Amino acid sequence: MSASLPSGPRPRRLTPGRIGLYAFLLTAAVFFLLPLWIMLITSLKPMEEIRLGNILALPMAPTLEAWGKAWSSACTGLDCNGISVGFWNSVRILVPSVILSIALGAVNGYALSFWRVKGANVLFGVLLIGAFIPYQVFLYPLVRIFSQMGIYNSLTCIVLVHVIFGLPTMTLLFRNYYAGIPIELFKAARIDGGGFWTIFLRVMLPMSVPMLVVATILQVTGIWNDFIFGLTFAGRENLPMTVQLNNIVHSTQGERAYNVDMAATMLAALVPLVVYFVSGRWFVRGIAAGAVKG
Protein backbone atom coordinates (compact mmCIF):
# COMPACT_ATOMS: atom_id res chain seq x y z
CA MET A 1 0.00 0.00 0.00
CA SER A 2 0.90 3.62 -0.18
CA ALA A 3 1.79 3.79 3.53
CA SER A 4 5.32 2.72 2.66
CA LEU A 5 5.79 5.52 0.12
CA PRO A 6 8.47 7.99 1.24
CA SER A 7 6.86 11.21 2.30
CA GLY A 8 7.97 14.10 4.46
CA PRO A 9 11.42 14.34 6.03
CA ARG A 10 13.73 11.41 5.67
CA PRO A 11 14.07 9.47 8.97
CA ARG A 12 17.45 10.05 10.59
CA ARG A 13 19.35 6.93 11.42
CA LEU A 14 22.72 6.51 13.02
CA THR A 15 24.65 4.63 10.35
CA PRO A 16 28.12 3.19 10.89
CA GLY A 17 29.40 5.91 8.58
CA ARG A 18 28.01 8.61 10.82
CA ILE A 19 29.49 7.03 13.93
CA GLY A 20 32.87 6.86 12.25
CA LEU A 21 32.59 10.49 11.22
CA TYR A 22 31.77 11.66 14.73
CA ALA A 23 34.56 9.56 16.18
CA PHE A 24 37.03 11.13 13.79
CA LEU A 25 35.83 14.67 14.50
CA LEU A 26 36.02 14.06 18.25
CA THR A 27 39.53 12.68 18.03
CA ALA A 28 40.65 15.59 15.91
CA ALA A 29 39.14 18.09 18.33
CA VAL A 30 40.83 16.44 21.32
CA PHE A 31 44.12 16.25 19.45
CA PHE A 32 44.13 19.98 18.76
CA LEU A 33 42.59 21.14 22.01
CA LEU A 34 44.59 19.05 24.46
CA PRO A 35 47.84 21.05 24.23
CA LEU A 36 45.90 24.28 24.66
CA TRP A 37 44.16 22.82 27.69
CA ILE A 38 47.40 21.65 29.27
CA MET A 39 48.96 25.03 28.70
CA LEU A 40 46.04 26.81 30.26
CA ILE A 41 45.89 24.70 33.44
CA THR A 42 49.64 24.62 33.85
CA SER A 43 49.85 28.39 33.60
CA LEU A 44 47.36 28.63 36.45
CA LYS A 45 49.33 26.32 38.77
CA PRO A 46 52.07 27.36 41.19
CA MET A 47 55.46 25.62 40.69
CA GLU A 48 54.98 23.29 43.70
CA GLU A 49 51.97 21.73 42.02
CA ILE A 50 53.75 21.37 38.71
CA ARG A 51 56.61 19.51 40.38
CA LEU A 52 54.11 16.80 41.40
CA GLY A 53 53.99 15.91 37.73
CA ASN A 54 50.26 15.37 37.09
CA ILE A 55 50.09 17.46 33.99
CA LEU A 56 46.42 16.68 33.33
CA ALA A 57 45.23 17.43 36.86
CA LEU A 58 43.23 20.58 37.51
CA PRO A 59 45.03 23.25 39.54
CA MET A 60 44.33 22.84 43.28
CA ALA A 61 45.04 26.48 44.05
CA PRO A 62 44.60 28.44 40.81
CA THR A 63 46.65 31.60 40.64
CA LEU A 64 47.35 34.29 38.06
CA GLU A 65 50.80 34.87 39.49
CA ALA A 66 52.55 33.24 36.54
CA TRP A 67 50.62 35.41 34.09
CA GLY A 68 51.65 38.54 35.92
CA LYS A 69 55.22 37.42 35.98
CA ALA A 70 55.20 36.51 32.31
CA TRP A 71 53.74 39.85 31.37
CA SER A 72 55.99 42.14 33.37
CA SER A 73 58.98 40.51 35.02
CA ALA A 74 60.11 37.38 33.20
CA CYS A 75 63.69 37.54 32.05
CA THR A 76 64.59 37.67 28.40
CA GLY A 77 68.31 37.34 28.44
CA LEU A 78 69.67 40.12 30.64
CA ASP A 79 66.70 42.39 31.25
CA CYS A 80 63.70 41.22 33.19
CA ASN A 81 60.72 43.26 31.98
CA GLY A 82 58.50 40.37 30.92
CA ILE A 83 56.94 39.82 27.53
CA SER A 84 55.02 43.12 27.59
CA VAL A 85 57.94 44.84 25.84
CA GLY A 86 57.64 42.36 23.00
CA PHE A 87 53.89 42.76 22.91
CA TRP A 88 54.10 46.49 22.33
CA ASN A 89 56.92 46.00 19.81
CA SER A 90 54.71 43.58 17.91
CA VAL A 91 51.83 46.05 17.95
CA ARG A 92 54.08 48.79 16.59
CA ILE A 93 55.25 46.47 13.82
CA LEU A 94 51.80 45.06 13.15
CA VAL A 95 49.70 48.18 12.71
CA PRO A 96 51.67 49.95 9.96
CA SER A 97 52.57 46.68 8.21
CA VAL A 98 48.97 45.50 8.02
CA ILE A 99 47.59 48.84 6.90
CA LEU A 100 50.28 49.48 4.30
CA SER A 101 50.34 45.98 2.81
CA ILE A 102 46.55 45.85 2.47
CA ALA A 103 46.27 49.36 1.07
CA LEU A 104 48.98 48.73 -1.51
CA GLY A 105 47.61 45.28 -2.37
CA ALA A 106 44.13 46.67 -2.90
CA VAL A 107 45.34 49.49 -5.14
CA ASN A 108 47.52 47.07 -7.10
CA GLY A 109 44.69 44.59 -7.55
CA TYR A 110 42.38 47.38 -8.63
CA ALA A 111 44.83 48.79 -11.15
CA LEU A 112 45.58 45.34 -12.57
CA SER A 113 41.89 44.46 -12.97
CA PHE A 114 40.45 47.66 -14.35
CA TRP A 115 43.10 49.89 -15.87
CA ARG A 116 44.89 48.49 -18.81
CA VAL A 117 48.31 49.18 -17.36
CA LYS A 118 51.16 48.60 -19.79
CA GLY A 119 52.83 45.31 -18.99
CA ALA A 120 50.15 44.36 -16.50
CA ASN A 121 50.42 40.69 -17.41
CA VAL A 122 54.16 40.65 -16.90
CA LEU A 123 53.79 42.39 -13.56
CA PHE A 124 51.13 39.94 -12.54
CA GLY A 125 53.34 37.01 -13.50
CA VAL A 126 56.22 38.40 -11.46
CA LEU A 127 53.93 38.84 -8.45
CA LEU A 128 52.69 35.28 -8.82
CA ILE A 129 56.23 33.96 -8.80
CA GLY A 130 56.98 36.25 -5.87
CA ALA A 131 54.13 34.72 -3.92
CA PHE A 132 55.55 31.22 -4.28
CA ILE A 133 59.31 31.59 -3.90
CA PRO A 134 60.43 30.62 -0.38
CA TYR A 135 61.31 33.90 1.27
CA GLN A 136 64.46 32.53 2.92
CA VAL A 137 66.04 33.04 -0.49
CA PHE A 138 65.63 36.79 -0.13
CA LEU A 139 66.91 37.13 3.43
CA TYR A 140 70.60 37.67 2.81
CA PRO A 141 70.26 39.99 -0.21
CA LEU A 142 67.73 42.08 1.69
CA VAL A 143 70.03 42.37 4.70
CA ARG A 144 72.76 43.66 2.39
CA ILE A 145 70.43 46.11 0.67
CA PHE A 146 69.03 47.51 3.90
CA SER A 147 72.53 47.85 5.37
CA GLN A 148 73.57 49.85 2.33
CA MET A 149 70.51 52.05 2.74
CA GLY A 150 71.29 52.49 6.43
CA ILE A 151 67.93 51.38 7.73
CA TYR A 152 68.88 47.84 8.73
CA ASN A 153 67.73 46.90 12.25
CA SER A 154 64.97 49.47 12.61
CA LEU A 155 61.21 49.62 12.81
CA THR A 156 61.06 51.04 9.27
CA CYS A 157 63.10 48.09 8.07
CA ILE A 158 60.89 45.38 9.56
CA VAL A 159 57.69 47.14 8.43
CA LEU A 160 59.11 47.45 4.93
CA VAL A 161 59.95 43.74 4.88
CA HIS A 162 56.44 42.77 5.94
CA VAL A 163 54.91 45.05 3.32
CA ILE A 164 57.13 43.70 0.55
CA PHE A 165 56.40 40.09 1.39
CA GLY A 166 52.71 40.70 1.95
CA LEU A 167 52.28 42.46 -1.37
CA PRO A 168 52.10 39.48 -3.79
CA THR A 169 49.44 37.67 -1.77
CA MET A 170 47.45 40.83 -1.12
CA THR A 171 47.59 41.85 -4.78
CA LEU A 172 46.49 38.39 -5.92
CA LEU A 173 43.66 38.37 -3.42
CA PHE A 174 42.32 41.75 -4.47
CA ARG A 175 42.89 41.21 -8.17
CA ASN A 176 40.81 38.05 -8.04
CA TYR A 177 38.13 39.80 -6.07
CA TYR A 178 37.94 42.70 -8.50
CA ALA A 179 38.00 40.35 -11.48
CA GLY A 180 34.60 39.18 -10.28
CA ILE A 181 33.12 42.66 -10.44
CA PRO A 182 31.43 43.47 -13.77
CA ILE A 183 33.58 45.76 -15.89
CA GLU A 184 30.46 47.78 -16.74
CA LEU A 185 30.41 49.16 -13.22
CA PHE A 186 33.83 50.59 -13.84
CA LYS A 187 32.74 51.96 -17.22
CA ALA A 188 29.71 53.64 -15.68
CA ALA A 189 31.93 55.30 -13.10
CA ARG A 190 34.29 56.48 -15.83
CA ILE A 191 31.43 58.10 -17.73
CA ASP A 192 30.27 59.69 -14.48
CA GLY A 193 33.65 61.36 -14.35
CA GLY A 194 35.50 59.24 -11.82
CA GLY A 195 39.28 59.15 -12.04
CA PHE A 196 41.69 56.46 -10.86
CA TRP A 197 41.43 57.39 -7.18
CA THR A 198 37.79 58.45 -7.00
CA ILE A 199 36.61 55.21 -8.57
CA PHE A 200 38.84 53.26 -6.22
CA LEU A 201 37.87 55.09 -3.05
CA ARG A 202 34.19 55.75 -3.69
CA VAL A 203 33.05 52.79 -5.78
CA MET A 204 35.43 49.86 -5.42
CA LEU A 205 36.60 50.14 -1.81
CA PRO A 206 33.09 50.23 -0.32
CA MET A 207 32.38 47.02 -2.22
CA SER A 208 35.53 45.35 -0.90
CA VAL A 209 34.58 45.04 2.77
CA PRO A 210 34.54 41.22 2.78
CA MET A 211 37.93 41.11 1.10
CA LEU A 212 39.35 43.73 3.47
CA VAL A 213 38.27 41.63 6.43
CA VAL A 214 39.88 38.52 4.99
CA ALA A 215 43.05 40.40 4.13
CA THR A 216 43.22 41.86 7.63
CA ILE A 217 42.87 38.43 9.19
CA LEU A 218 45.54 36.94 6.97
CA GLN A 219 47.96 39.77 7.55
CA VAL A 220 47.39 40.17 11.29
CA THR A 221 47.93 36.49 12.00
CA GLY A 222 50.80 36.19 9.53
CA ILE A 223 52.70 39.21 10.78
CA TRP A 224 52.00 38.57 14.45
CA ASN A 225 53.28 35.00 14.18
CA ASP A 226 56.37 35.98 12.22
CA PHE A 227 59.64 35.03 13.85
CA ILE A 228 62.42 35.00 11.31
CA PHE A 229 61.85 38.47 9.81
CA GLY A 230 61.60 39.99 13.28
CA LEU A 231 64.78 38.28 14.38
CA THR A 232 66.63 39.27 11.22
CA PHE A 233 65.46 42.80 10.49
CA ALA A 234 63.88 44.40 13.56
CA GLY A 235 67.02 45.06 15.63
CA ARG A 236 67.39 44.59 19.41
CA GLU A 237 65.08 47.49 20.28
CA ASN A 238 62.11 46.25 18.27
CA LEU A 239 62.19 42.49 18.68
CA PRO A 240 58.61 41.22 18.30
CA MET A 241 56.81 39.13 20.87
CA THR A 242 57.57 35.81 19.20
CA VAL A 243 61.30 36.38 19.46
CA GLN A 244 61.02 37.50 23.08
CA LEU A 245 58.92 34.48 23.91
CA ASN A 246 61.66 32.30 22.56
CA ASN A 247 64.18 34.16 24.70
CA ILE A 248 62.08 33.72 27.84
CA VAL A 249 61.57 30.03 27.27
CA HIS A 250 65.25 29.49 26.56
CA SER A 251 66.82 31.62 29.27
CA THR A 252 67.93 28.67 31.40
CA GLN A 253 68.97 30.03 34.75
CA GLY A 254 67.95 27.87 37.65
CA GLU A 255 64.74 25.95 37.59
CA ARG A 256 62.55 26.09 34.47
CA ALA A 257 59.37 28.03 35.30
CA TYR A 258 56.88 26.02 33.28
CA ASN A 259 53.89 28.05 34.44
CA VAL A 260 55.51 31.32 33.34
CA ASP A 261 56.54 29.82 30.00
CA MET A 262 53.02 28.61 29.41
CA ALA A 263 51.48 31.92 30.41
CA ALA A 264 53.88 33.82 28.14
CA THR A 265 53.06 31.52 25.25
CA MET A 266 49.35 32.01 25.79
CA LEU A 267 49.86 35.76 25.87
CA ALA A 268 51.75 35.64 22.61
CA ALA A 269 48.99 33.60 20.98
CA LEU A 270 46.25 35.86 22.25
CA VAL A 271 45.99 38.21 19.30
CA PRO A 272 45.59 35.54 16.56
CA LEU A 273 43.21 33.63 18.83
CA VAL A 274 41.00 36.66 19.32
CA VAL A 275 41.08 37.39 15.60
CA TYR A 276 39.95 33.86 14.77
CA PHE A 277 37.21 33.80 17.35
CA VAL A 278 35.83 37.19 16.42
CA SER A 279 35.99 36.74 12.67
CA GLY A 280 35.79 33.01 12.07
CA ARG A 281 32.62 33.32 10.05
CA TRP A 282 33.97 36.13 7.91
CA PHE A 283 37.19 34.27 7.43
CA VAL A 284 35.53 31.16 6.02
CA ARG A 285 33.22 33.24 3.86
CA GLY A 286 36.04 35.33 2.43
CA ILE A 287 38.24 32.35 1.66
CA ALA A 288 35.32 30.63 -0.05
CA ALA A 289 34.49 33.72 -2.08
CA GLY A 290 38.11 34.08 -3.08
CA ALA A 291 38.23 30.47 -4.13
CA VAL A 292 35.08 30.59 -6.23
CA LYS A 293 35.89 33.86 -7.91
CA GLY A 294 39.54 32.91 -8.55
Partner 1 sequence: MSAVSIRDVSVAFEAVRVFDGLSLDIEEGEFVVLLGPSGCGKSTLLNAVAGLIDVADGQIFIGGRNVTWEEPKDRGIAMVFQSYALYPRMSVRENMSFGLRMAKTPKAEIGRRVAQAAELLQIGHLLDRRPDQLSGGQRQRVAIGRALVRDAAVFLFDEPLSNLDAMLRNELRVEIKRLHARLGKATMIYVTHDQIEAMTLADRIVVMRDQKVQQIGSPAEIYGRPANLFVAGFIGAPQMNFLNGRLEAEGGGLSFVAGTLRLPLAGYAFNGAPPVGQEVVLGVRPEHLALAEAGLWQGFGVDIVEPMGADTVLWCSDGTHTLQVRTTGTSRITRGERVGLGLDPEQASLFAADTGERL
Decide: 241 and 89 in contact? Cβ < 8 Å.
yes
Contact pick of 190, 237, 276, 278 for partner 1 (by CB under 8 A): 190
Residue 188 interacting with partner 1 (CB under 8 A): yes
Residue 185 interacting with partner 1 (CB under 8 A): yes
Decide: 67 and 267 in contact? Cβ < 8 Å.
yes
Residue 180 interacting with partner 1 (CB under 8 A): no
Contact pick of 191, 253, 291, 292 for partner 1 (by CB under 8 A): 191
Integer Cα distance of 70 and 270 in angstroms: 13
Neighbouring residues of 61: CB distance < 8 A, sequence distance ≥ 6: 45, 46, 49
Nearer to partner 1, 163 or 189 (CB): 189
Please identify, among the stretches 19-27, 74-82, 162-170, 194-202, the one whose residues bind partner 1 according to the rule CB under 8 A.
Answer: 194-202
Integer Cα distance of 144 and 9 in angstroms: 68
Tell me the CA end-to-end span of the chain in Å, nearest whole number.
52
Largest CA distance in the chain: 89
Nearer to partner 1, 111 or 264 (CB): 111
Please identify, among the stretches 191-199, 222-230, 254-262, 265-273, the one whose residues bind partner 1 according to the rule CB under 8 A.
Answer: 191-199
Contact pick of 189, 220, 243, 264 for partner 1 (by CB under 8 A): 189
* CA atoms in the 13 A half-sphere facing the CB of 78: 1
Residue 33 interacting with partner 1 (CB under 8 A): no
Binding site for partner 1 (CB under 8 A): 182, 184-185, 187-194, 198, 202-203, 206-207
